[in-house]
Amino acid sequence: MRIEHVQTQDEHQAVIGIEGLERPQTLMHITDSHMVAADDRDPEAFEVAEQCTEAFQKLTPGCVPPQQLFEQAIERSNRMEVDCTVLTGDIIHFPAYAAVEIIERGVSALRGPYLYTPGNHDWFFPYHQWSDATREQHYPRLAHLAGNSPAAQVLQLGGVRLVVLDNSNYQMTQQQLEFLRLQLRTGEPCLLFVHIPLYTPALAPAVLEKWKAPIMMAAPGWTEQMRTQWLVRESDESTTACHRLLTQADADNLVGVFCGHVHFPHVGEVRPGRLQYVTREGFRDGYRVIKLEPL
């Protein structure tokens, strides 16, 4: 399958030509808004919410609330009449009921379909242990946003498959791997959306410079001190196999990978002719318009 990624200097845009595409399509990618809200349903979160609200608002352009930037992104999707809006995690900074409701109001305002996958903050309160058990505990608050299938989703759209996988704990399960293989075997062009970027040699230097740890999926270079600090265990065999499938195997109909997490924009190859797009964080007014065009 012939795929052509058009070079652009605009960090808010990706233009991709796809052989045999039925019609031009436009997608909106939103990630890492880190909105903060809490009420008496989550009393422990009050103090943390106040601290985090102040911290993130200082980082936004013009010190506007991240929620305002999120609402602007939703309005942008509607104004552009995009075919689908995809949210790839850390849309909220922790899963207080009041924060989840902000996402609900946002996606309810969309005039087109949407997909959502959790990030590591969407399910983690800072006063809880960061673990798979904590993620499972808070999944029920988020599951309805992900079609009650947070681990893996797919949307067929005009001859293209939008595949969404939750890798917010830096891992992929065997079930997710099989789901991905199934989508790639269809022969239809597939765009993969995840929260945490795949490790690539092109991305690694910038991630290490910013975070002092290789916070990418299936990344080498973790020290025991880093793992203790970030609570990231060694990659499961299924995670390594997923990374190998996407970066080395002959998954010809993979169009590209779209993600966030590291809080800066980046475009680089996952393998020859297939690119990974890291979108700027939403609380800095980041977003990416993905234009798919027939070849």
pLDDT at 56 over 80: yes
User: Which pLDDT value is given to residue 127?
Assistant: 79
- Helix or strand (DSSP H, E) at 286: none
What's the pLDDT score for residue 57?
Answer: 86
What would the pLDDT profile of 136-150 be if each residue is shown by its tens digit?
888 899 999 999 999
Question: b/e per residue, 242-261, with b = 16+ CB within 10 A?
Answer: bbebbbeeebebbbbbbbbb
What is the residue extent of each domain of the chain? Answer: 3-294
Q: Distance (Å, rounded) from C-alpha 29 to C-alpha 272?
A: 23
Tell whether the model's pLDDT for residue 185 goes beyond 80: yes
- Helices (DSSP H) in the chain: which residue ranges? 45-59, 66-80, 97-108, 132-142, 174-184, 204-211, 224-230, 237-247
- Asked whether the beta carbons of 28 and 80 are under 8 A apart, the reply is yes
* pLDDT reported for residue 175: 98
Convert the pLDDT of each residue in 5-30 to its tens digit: 999 999 999 999 999 998 999 999 99
Reply yes or no on whether the pLDDT at 177 is more than 90: yes
Cα 107 to Cα 112: distance, rounded to the nearest angstrom: 9
Mean pLDDT value across the chain: 95
Burial of 7 (0-12, 13-18, 19+ CB in 10 A): exposed
Instruction: Report the alpha-carbon angle 216-65-86, nearest 5.
Output: 45
Q: What is the mean pLDDT of residues 253-270?
A: 97
Residue 137 CA, chain-centre distance (Å), reads 21
- Cα(52)–Cα(37) distance, rounded to whole angstroms? 9
Any idea how long the chain is? Answer: 295
Q: How far is CA 86 from CA 64, 114, 120, 191, in A?
A: 23, 6, 17, 11
CA 284 from centre of chain: 16
Residues 78-123 pLDDT 10s: 999 999 999 999 999 999 999 999 999 999 999 999 999 999 999 9
Half-sphere CA count of 77, side-chain side, radius 13 A = 25
Q: How far apart are CA 46 and CA 243, in angstroms?
A: 39
Could you give the percent of the chain with pLDDT greater than 70?
Answer: 100
> How far is 178 from 167, CA to CA, in rounded Å?
14
**CA–CA distance from 54 to each of 49, 63, 144 (Å)?**
9, 9, 29
Q: What's the average model confidence in pLDDT over 67-74?
A: 96
CATH topology of domain 3-294: Purple Acid Phosphatase; chain A, domain 2 (3.60.21)
Pairing of strands 288-294, 84-87: unpaired
